[in-house]
């Protein structure tokens, strides 16, 4: 059975509403969840920035879903703090947490006042952070002098089962490089040929573990409204690297996207009022070899999307929610 999860966008939805949404996602049949970790929304209309790690504790305590999060250690977050956060969630919720570790975006990282490094430097910094985090999760005391500095750090509360460290990638080169250290690969919806190339690059370089895909979707019974939602909320997210890495504020993304048409957003978001069409798109991604798909409805309101996909899309993909192993207090 494929894993079809619900992506929780902290940039768009108030954390209390997002907590209600992920609980409802489990109720209607979604079998996993993941979330972003932003300080800043992509554009002023999104307007939220809940702290992912606080929210994850509440979400994991009040659902039985496995969860993932996307994080960028090295500038806004010191890798020792990231390791402690991973360890605590892993200790509290054994086998239910993974984290995708990336090189970050200027919009979130510039707030430290440090220079935004070149991509090759960011990639090197990420490798140092991954090594530090893995050593700490293994119970070692770590000192390190490099692009990040660590002085005699040790994490005392450790999980019995180490959470998976996943490589997030939007390019073939990043997917290939991630094979050297990652326990799996996660990417976003892109043209099928590009996704095939990324999977091949990761596997051919020795990459192991789960292949996961985050799919941006916009659904509404009214096709014009479905397109309008996508254009309003996600037109600032159509730019390929390096622009999406280097713009440093919601206002900059807003200005860059001023001339993006509604139709232009459909290159980044699967937009349709037809639930059968959404089902077919998702089946195509499964056929490419992805083990897990996380659906991100780019609208602010989530319940109608969750109800519609839970009733009409998940069953067509063979997804049935297992009974929780333990009772969960809500």
pLDDT digits (tens, 9 = 90+) for 11-47: 999 999 999 999 999 999 999 999 999 999 999 999 9
- The residue-averaged pLDDT of 163-181 equals 96
Rg (CA), the chain: 19
Residue 321 pLDDT: 59
**Which DSSP helix (H) or strand (E) runs through 277?**
helix 275-288
Check whether 149 has a pLDDT greater than 70: yes
pLDDT recorded at residue 322 = 52
* Residue 328 pLDDT: 32
**pLDDT score at 46:** 94
10 Å Cβ neighbour count for 322? 8
Question: What mean pLDDT do residues 140-153 have?
Answer: 98
**Which residues, other chains included, contact 132 with Cβ-Cβ below 8 Å and sequence gap of 6+?**
79, 80, 83, 142, 144, 148, 150, 153
**Whole-angstrom distance, CA of residue 133 vs CA of residue 140:** 10
Question: Is the model's pLDDT at 324 over the cut of 50?
Answer: no
What is the reported pLDDT for 119?
A: 94
| Mean pLDDT along residues 163-179 | 96
**Lowest pLDDT segment from 188-192, 257-261, 325-329:** 325-329
Per-residue model confidence (pLDDT) at position 138: 97
Q: What pLDDT is stored for residue 325 in this prediction?
A: 36
pLDDT over 60 (residue 172): yes
Cα dist. 296→11, 126, 142 in Å? 12, 26, 37
- pLDDT tens for residues 78-134? 999 999 999 999 999 999 999 999 999 999 999 999 999 999 999 999 999 999 999
What pLDDT is recorded for position 41?
95
Better-predicted residue by pLDDT, 233 or 326: 233
pLDDT value for 160: 94
Q: Is residue 196 scored above 80 in pLDDT?
A: yes
Look at residue 145 in the predicted model and tell me its pLDDT.
Answer: 98
Per-residue pLDDT band at 240 (split at 50, 70, 90): confident
DSSP 321: P
Q: What per-residue confidence (pLDDT) applies to 166?
A: 98
Mean pLDDT of 194-222: 98
pLDDT at 248 over 50: yes
User: Which residue did the predictor score with more confidence, 323 or 291?
Assistant: 291
Instruction: Give yes or no for residue 327 having a pLDDT over 90.
Output: no
Report the distance separating Cα 46 and Cα 51, nearest Å.
15
pTM score, two decimals? 0.94
What is the average pLDDT across 281-300? 98
Q: What percent of the chain has pLDDT over 70?
A: 97
Band the pLDDT of 326: cuts 50, 70, 90: very low
8 A C-beta contact, residue 226 and residue 272? yes
Whole-number pLDDT of residue 243: 86
Could you list the beta-strand ranges (E) of the chain.
Answer: 3-8, 32-35, 67-71, 97-101, 142-145, 149-153, 164-168, 184-188, 210-218, 270-271, 292-297
């Amino acid at each position: 059975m494929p894993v079809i999860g619900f992506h929780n966008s902290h940039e768009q939805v108030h954390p209390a509403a997002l907590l209600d949404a992920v609980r409802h996602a489990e109720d209607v049949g979604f079998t996993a969840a993941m979330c972003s970790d932003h300080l800043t929304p992509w554009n002023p209309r999104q307007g939220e920035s809940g702290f992912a790690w606080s929210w994850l504790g509440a979400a994991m305590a009040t659902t039985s879903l496995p969860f993932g999060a996307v994080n960028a250690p090295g500038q806004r977050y010191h890798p020792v703090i990231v390791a402690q956060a991973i360890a605590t969630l892993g200790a509290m919720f054994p086998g239910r947490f993974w984290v995708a570790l990336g090189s970050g975006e200027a919009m979130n990282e510039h707030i430290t006042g440090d220079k935004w490094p070149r991509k090759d430097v960011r990639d090197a910094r990420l490798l140092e952070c991954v090594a530090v985090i893995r050593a700490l999760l293994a119970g070692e005391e770590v000192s390190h002098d490099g692009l990040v500095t660590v002085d005699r750090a040790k994490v005392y509360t450790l999980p019995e089962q180490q959470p998976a460290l996943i490589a997030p990638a939007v390019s073939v080169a990043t997917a290939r490089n991630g094979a050297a250290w990652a326990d799996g690969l996660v990417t976003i919806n892109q043209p099928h040929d590009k996704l095939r190339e990324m999977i091949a690059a990761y596997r051919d370089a020795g990459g192991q573990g789960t292949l996961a895909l985050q799919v941006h979707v916009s659904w509404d019974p009214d096709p014009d409204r479905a397109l309008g939602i996508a254009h309003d909320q996600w037109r600032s997210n159509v730019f390929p690297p390096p622009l999406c890495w280097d713009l440093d504020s919601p206002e900059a993304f807003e200005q860059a996207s001023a001339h993006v048409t509604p139709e232009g957003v459909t290159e980044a978001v699967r937009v349709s009022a037809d639930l059968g069409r959404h089902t077919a798109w998702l089946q195509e991604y499964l056929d490419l070899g992805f083990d897990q798909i996380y659906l991100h409805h780019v609208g602010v309101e989530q319940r109608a999307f969750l109800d519609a996909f839970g009733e009409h899309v998940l069953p067509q993909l063979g997804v049935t929610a297992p009974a929780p192993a333990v009772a969960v207090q809500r």
